[in-house]
Each structure stands twice: as C-alpha cells, then as structure tokens.
Amino acid sequence: MEMKTLIAQIVDAAVRTAYPGVDAGINYEALLEVPPDSKLGDFAFPCFKLSKALRMGPPMIAQKLAAAIDRPEVCTAQPVNGYLNFFLNRGNFAKDTLQKVMAAPERWGSGNEGEGKTVVLDYSSINIAKRFHIGHLSTTMIGNSLCRIYGFLGWHTVSVNHLGDWGTQFGKMICAYKKWGNKEEVEKGGVDAMTALYVRFHEEAEKNPELENEGRAWFKKIEDGDPEALEIFNWFKDVTLKDASRVYDKLGVQFDYYTGESFYHDKTDRVVNELKEKGLLTESDGAQVVDLSDDNMPPCLILKSDGTTIYATRDLAAIFYRKDTFHFDKCLYVVAYQQDLHFRQVFRVVEKMGYPWAKDQLVHVAFGMVSYEGQSLSTRKGHVLYLDELLDRAVEKALAIIEEKSPNLENKEEVARQVGVGAVIYSDLQNSRIKDIDFWWDRALNFDGDTGPYVQYTYTRCCSVMRKAGEVTAQPDYNALLDDEAQLVLRLLARFPEDVRAACRTNEPFMITRATTDLAKAYNKYYYEHRILDGEPGEIAARVQLTDAVRQVIKTGLYLIGMEAPERM
C-alpha cells in the first residue's frame, strides 16, 4: 500500500473515532499535502475542509484528530494551526519502502489496473516521400513513451503509424517518375530522390501546366486501383519506410501497424452512408458537411463538392475500423495542437452519430512546436533539421565529451549512442508536452542539471557503487537511513508508482522525466553527504540497498520515456 494511502486511512479512522456517526464525505488522500519543508512533516492534512461538517474550528479539529491517532509504527501526528502534520517512523518507512522496491525491482510502479483494456495509440504519422525531420520528434517520442507507460500499467497497447499517404501529390510523383526517374536512382537515393522528382515536377509544371492534369490522372488511377499506379505507389511507401526505419531503430521505436490514409480510403462509404441515414449531412456550397454550430465550431467537411472525401472522412473511417478491430477502451491521437479544432470536430461527429463512448475514449494528446537553437522550422526558408542528422550529430558530440571525460572507457561508441540519442529524447520530454521546445546542443548534452546525460550518469554512479560493494550478506540496519538526505530519496522512491499513474492519467510523459530527475538529484546529494561503504556491516547493507533501489527505479524511469541506461560512462 502506498504511504499516502495509508496516511489517508489513518485520517479517516481518526475522524470516525473522534466524531462517531459523522460522514464528512471527503477524499482524504486527495487533500493530503507534502509540506515544502520536511521539518513541518512528511505529510500534512488541512482540517479546514472538515469545519462545515463538524461545526468546529480547524485548530480544534486538528487537536482532536491528533489525540485519536495511535500508530507509532507508522507515524506520529502533530496539530499545527489547523493542520495535522504527520511525521513518518523513519526506520520503518525505510524498511517498508526498500523491501517493496526490491521485491520487484524492475517492476516497481507497475500495475494491473489496465488489465483487460486496450489502448490504441496513433503517433509519429510520417509523410510518404518526405524525410523524417525534427518536427516529428515530439509525436514519436510522446507516443512511444505513452505506449510504454500504458503497457507498464497492464493495458494492451496497439501502436499505429498513421501514414500521410494519400492525395494528388502522389499522382504528381508517379508522373515525374515515369517521365524523368528510374528505379535504380530511387532505390539508391531513397526519399531524397523522390523529393527531387517532386520538385522537378513543379518546376516543369510552371512551363507546361498540362502536367497538373497528368498528375491528377495518375492519382485517379491510384484511387481506381490501377495495377501499375498501385505498384509504383506502394513501392514509394516501401522506400520511405525503409528510410524511416533507420531513424526508428536509432530511437528504439517500433509500431504494430503502419496503416495510413490510403488504408481507409475504401472504408469511408460506411461513414458517409451512416451520416446520410441519420440525417446528419447538409449541403454547403455543393459540399456535404456536418453542422456543428450548436457546439460553436465550423462545420465538419465530409465530401467535397466533387464528391471526394477529405482527411476528416478518413479519420472517421479509421475510428470505426479501430473500434471494430481492436475494441479499444481508449484511442489516443498524439498530434500537434494546431489540429485541435480538427479533432474536436471529428470526435463530436462520432458523438452525434450516436456513439457516446467518443466523449471519453477518443483523446487528442496535443503538443507544442519544436524549434532549433532559436529558429523555427520552415521547409520554405530552409530551416529544416532532419532527425537522422540530429541523432548522428548528438552521438558525435557525446563521443567527443566521453573521449575527454572517460578516455579509457571500453565501449565508448555504444555509450555515446546511448547518451547522444538519450539527450535528444530527454530534451523533448523534460517539460509538459504542450510547451514549445527549443533544442540547444549545450543544454541537451550537459552532464549537470536537468538533462538526460545527468540522469544516465547518476545511474552509472549507482552501478559503480554496487560493483565496489560486491556481495553484501549483512542484514540492513535501516536506522542508518534516518537522515534527511536518505529520507528524501525514500520518499521519491515511494512516490514513483503515483508518478507513473499520474503520467498515464494525464498522458504526460514529462511526469516520469521529472520524477526520475528528482530522484537522481536527491541520490547525488545523498552520495556527497554520506560515505556509503563505510561503517558497520548493517549500515553499509542499508545504504547499498538504497543505492540499488535508486539504480533500478532510474532505469525504469528512463525506459518509460524511451531512454537507455548505460552501466558505465
């Protein structure tokens, strides 16, 4: 049982003892606070919420509750100005926390509350025939982290890369390929070769506008299932995914399905027909829309005036396909905040179609913009940083730092890969997802402060202590962990499961990043203040066990945000 939950139960029992027959109807755990100064206690309960139900002033309530509490093996309670301050039994708290963590070291914080439930996660969503740039980093890493967090809590996860693979531009690309390209060049040049063909098409179209019609004709062939058009189109997708897989491999990201817009093209009839049957389609300038004026939103376009579908139609088809196929309990869309209106419209259309689950089960996980060293990204202005280049440069810079700091390290290249890639991931997930991100090299690769290398280095420090300690056979003397530094580490260890659940509940991976960083900082302070391997055998055993618990939980935290944990740096 979590300590916060136990303290809440103690408060509840004290209220029932001091005021029998009174049901205050209060969630005591939700009201418990952590004082800013440990001298004020480990937890504090504000008695003000009880004043109305008990018809008594908070200071008097605090005094009566303190008198009703007799749990010295857990804590002592002191009334202070309307607050009930709880001081944990530090020795028992240390023993209880460490024994729980070490009972399942790599699973501390996990749970089975998601057992029997399925979550579909739609993220990354790269575009066919375009290179993977830094703008795709947030959707990819937030989605990957959430996939791991949900899975850690027992959910069955289904990860989907919703490819941008539909539209007239693909007809133009086929047209360009047929006129000026060849298979060998595209196979060798990959996405860059396809991009060059697309650019040439537009240059030639300025001289010969008739090319636009040829491009549209090729896309019509794709829509109609023409064998040659589909063969080239699917080959373009294969080449793009081969190129993207190099980046995904570097990031440690995998997907269960790569199903993009083209996959749902032949599934839109069900949506359109059902909307018609339910009288939800209205005409607007020749187009078919769903009126959302009652929800203070513009209409949701379903069919353009020429009868073709739009991405909203395909998103609706995807929702019903995923519901029918995976029977999801939640479907997350990790997409930038600029698409907020689009998803509000689409989700509301599903509700209006008579599916109330849309309100709770369809979730837009929005995130902010990414810039690079003060410059916003713009393809037109040339401010584009491709993700594979970013990762390669991060690894190179990490290797240079390691060469300087640890020239005798045996596996420098592997550690540089872990540190460099980890620094990029950490930079993306260190703040609330809705905040804009400005990536700077000197910040990301700093070995001090709130950075990925700092947390990874703390993990290697714990590994070093464990190697020096060797086999410890003495029984831990938990009285060696009564100091403030050890107690802060223990509180953070005990709180980690709560942090994991908060991250899942709010779809905010940064909560794991913050919890792991706070733990690393607390342990480093403890490390500098105390000689871990000096003293009586029982004292050493307790400090080593604390170190081992920190090591395991940092590794778990790094895993949950998609980072690796090198044992030496």
Active site annotation includes 383: no
Half-sphere exposure (Cβ direction) of 531: Cα atoms closer than 13 Å: 5
Pairwise CA distance, residues 404 & 410, whole Å: 14
Q: What are the angstrom distances between the C-alpha of 2 and each of 100, 187, 256, 520?
A: 10, 56, 34, 21
Q: Indicate the pairing of strand 287-290 with strand 281-284.
A: antiparallel
Helix (H) or strand (E) holding 215: helix 210-224
Alpha-helix runs per DSSP H in 226-361: 227-251, 268-277, 311-326, 340-352, 358-361
Q: What are the angstrom distances between the C-alpha of 38 and each of 28, 34, 488?
A: 20, 8, 9
Active site annotation includes 530: no
CB 152 within 8 A of CB 109: yes
CB 312 within 8 A of CB 300: yes
Pairwise CA distance, residues 54 & 22, whole Å: 8
Q: Which residues contact 67 (CB under 8 A, 6 or more apart)?
A: 18
Q: Indicate the pairing of strand 257-258 with strand 118-122.
A: unpaired
Pairwise CA distance, residues 35 & 477, whole Å: 27
**Catalytic hit among 4, 64, 136, 397:** 136
Pairwise CA distance, residues 384 & 136, whole Å: 11
**Catalytic hit among 95, 130, 323, 397:** 130
**Catalytic hit among 49, 133, 221, 364:** 133
Tokens of residue 544, six digits: 């080593």
Pairwise CA distance, residues 425 & 370, whole Å: 13
Mapped onto helix, strand or coil, the DSSP state of residue 151 is helix
Pairwise CA distance, residues 336 & 139, whole Å: 7
Pairwise CA distance, residues 543 & 482, whole Å: 11
Amino acid at site 405: K
Q: What are the angstrom distances between the C-alpha of 396 and each of 251, 300, 407?
A: 16, 47, 15
Active site annotation includes 133: yes
**Active-site amino acid positions:** 130, 133, 136
